[in-house]
């Protein structure tokens, strides 16, 4: 007759003393507790694999974390799998592999991979990462990208909208859409559900950088800059800003090594540009005069406009804005970024230059009729004429309000 095994009890398991070698406390049906010399108690189950009939052992965890009742339930489930022709050990390996695959394809993993491939400036990268970590990853970061739906992303956006950050909700969803497109390109998702949110989000409040676009008011601003009695470097930066109309950060970080006074060109490298493409700024005679006047003061340093506290750092981010405020131009009248809108408006409406030339000089993405992107030297001859015409126009604004006759070379066909 086969030897019977008395069922285990919690008391028997607790009282079992560890010895010099592992000992087995059997519960029957192949289930037992292995008491190790270090005092640990592991649930084990011996079974024969379907088809091959070879013996195998499966672990059910440790006692008391896994109770006696739990271990018996796990044995019962494993026996049902064997009866159905399923090897419990191989089934567990498959589940673990599937879980690892789900983790490798989670939204957070894919998003961080995508973030690592973006050539953004550090300040912008930090902002995007913070958005993701605070507003996206806690809600859908662990979900596989292939399982995410439009309602999942909408719920994320609604939480952002509820705190009044409407514009941020749109920007974050734009980034989420880029992550999903990357997931599709890398074979981890079949479609981009963010695209289905069009029209579902609250419209953002349209905001513009305050800018002066009236020629007479612009003349007053230019005269005020000429009369500015503050720091000479800040005054030079303000005088150059309307002539080149680059972004404030690009102006502050200008280096003498990028400027060729003989060719009258400023070559801004890609890593300093928002669109991560190199940009060429033709310099008018007025811009050259400002730079030549400044060269004896800062030409031996790295930055054209070094900071007041340390010459190894560029001009402060708030220097131009603070100077504008001291001159009496409030935030609703003019900003450092507003020089770009001033140039865009008046080059078109007052001087009649082609919009594509203006947009290209603003370093915006512009394509030719064949869909090809302009490069840094595209239409350079026309842009040089435009920049000189702009410098001459600003001189006229200082003295007569800027009334001019449209320049035929720059008009759209």
Residue 32: which CATH number? Answer: 3.30.160.390
364 catalytically annotated: yes
Whether 123 maps to a domain, the answer reads: yes
Catalytic residue among 364, 376, 385, 398: 364
pLDDT over 70 at 373, yes or no = no
pLDDT over 80 at 381, yes or no = yes
Please count the structural domains in the chain: 3
Catalytic residue among 188, 340, 344, 383: 340
Whether 133 maps to a domain, the answer reads: yes
Same-domain pairing of 123 and 179: yes
> Which band of pLDDT confidence, cut at 50, 70 and 90, is reported for residue 1?
very low
Same-domain pairing of 42 and 155: no
The residue count for the chain: 413
pLDDT over 50 at 411, yes or no = no
Tens digit of pLDDT for each residue in 71-97? Answer: 999 999 889 888 888 888 887 877 776
Query: In the listed set 197, 224, 258, which residue is the last one of a domain according to the structure?
Result: 197
- Per-residue pLDDT, 406: 40
Same-domain pairing of 231 and 375: yes
340 catalytically annotated: yes
- Per-residue pLDDT, 407: 41
Catalytic residue among 170, 235, 253, 337: 337
Residues of the domain holding 359: 215-410
Whether 4 maps to a domain, the answer reads: no
Span 24-40, average pLDDT: 91
374 catalytically annotated: yes
Beta bridge partners of 32: 26, 44
Q: How far apart are CA 228 and CA 221, in angstroms?
A: 10
**pTM of this structure:** 0.53
Catalytic residue among 171, 209, 228, 374: 374
Whether 98 maps to a domain, the answer reads: no
337 catalytically annotated: yes
Same-domain pairing of 67 and 190: no
Tens digit of pLDDT for each residue in 164-203? Answer: 888 888 889 999 999 999 999 989 899 999 999 988 888 7
Same-domain pairing of 123 and 60: no
367 catalytically annotated: no
274 catalytically annotated: yes
Catalytic residue among 41, 235, 239, 247: 247
Same-domain pairing of 70 and 165: no
């Amino acid at each position: 007759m086969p030897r019977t095994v008395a069922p285990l009890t919690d008391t028997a398991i607790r009282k079992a003393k560890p010895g010099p070698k592992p000992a087995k406390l059997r519960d029957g049906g192949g289930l037992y507790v292995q008491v190790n010399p270090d005092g640990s108690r592991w649930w084990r189950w011996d079974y024969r694999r379907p088809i091959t009939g070879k013996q195998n052992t499966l672990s059910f965890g440790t006692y008391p974390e896994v109770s006696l009742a739990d271990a018996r339930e796990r044995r019962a489930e494993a026996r049902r799998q064997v009866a159905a022709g399923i090897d419990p050990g191989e089934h567990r390996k498959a589940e673990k592999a599937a879980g690892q695959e789900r983790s490798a394809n989670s939204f957070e993993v894919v998003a961080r991979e995508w973030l690592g491939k973006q050539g953004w400036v550090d300040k912008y990268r930090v902002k995007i990462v913070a958005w993701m970590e605070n507003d996206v990853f806690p809600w859908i970061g662990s979900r596989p990208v292939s399982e995410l739906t439009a309602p999942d992303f909408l719920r994320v956006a609604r939480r952002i909208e509820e705190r009044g950050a409407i514009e941020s909700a749109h920007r974050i969803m734009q980034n989420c859409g880029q992550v999903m497109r990357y997931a599709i390109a890398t074979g981890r998702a079949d479609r981009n559900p963010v695209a289905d949110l069009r029209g579902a989000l609250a419209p953002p409040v349209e905001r513009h950088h305050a800018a002066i676009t009236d020629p007479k008011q612009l003349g007053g601003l230019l005269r005020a800059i000429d009369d500015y009695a503050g720091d000479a470097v800040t005054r030079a930066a303000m005088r150059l800003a309307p002539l080149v109309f680059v972004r404030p950060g690009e102006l502050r970080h200008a280096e003498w090594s990028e400027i060729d006074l003989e060719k009258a060109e400023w070559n801004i490298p890609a890593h300093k540009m928002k669109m991560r493409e190199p940009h060429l700024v033709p310099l008018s005679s007025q811009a050259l005069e400002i730079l030549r006047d400044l060269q004896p003061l800062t030409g031996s340093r790295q930055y054209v406009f070094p900071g007041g506290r340390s010459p190894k750092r560029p001009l402060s981010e708030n220097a131009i804005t603070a100077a504008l405020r001291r001159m009496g131009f409030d935030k609703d009248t003019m900003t450092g970024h507003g020089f770009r809108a001033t140039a865009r408006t008046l080059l078109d409406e007052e001087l009649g230059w082609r919009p594509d030339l203006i947009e290209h000089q603003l370093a915006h993405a512009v394509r030719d009729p064949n869909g090809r992107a302009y490069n840094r030297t595209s239409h350079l001859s026309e842009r040089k004429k435009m920049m000189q015409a702009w410098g001459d126009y600003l001189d006229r604004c200082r003295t007569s309000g800027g009334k001019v006759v449209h320049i035929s070379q720059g008009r759209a066909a």
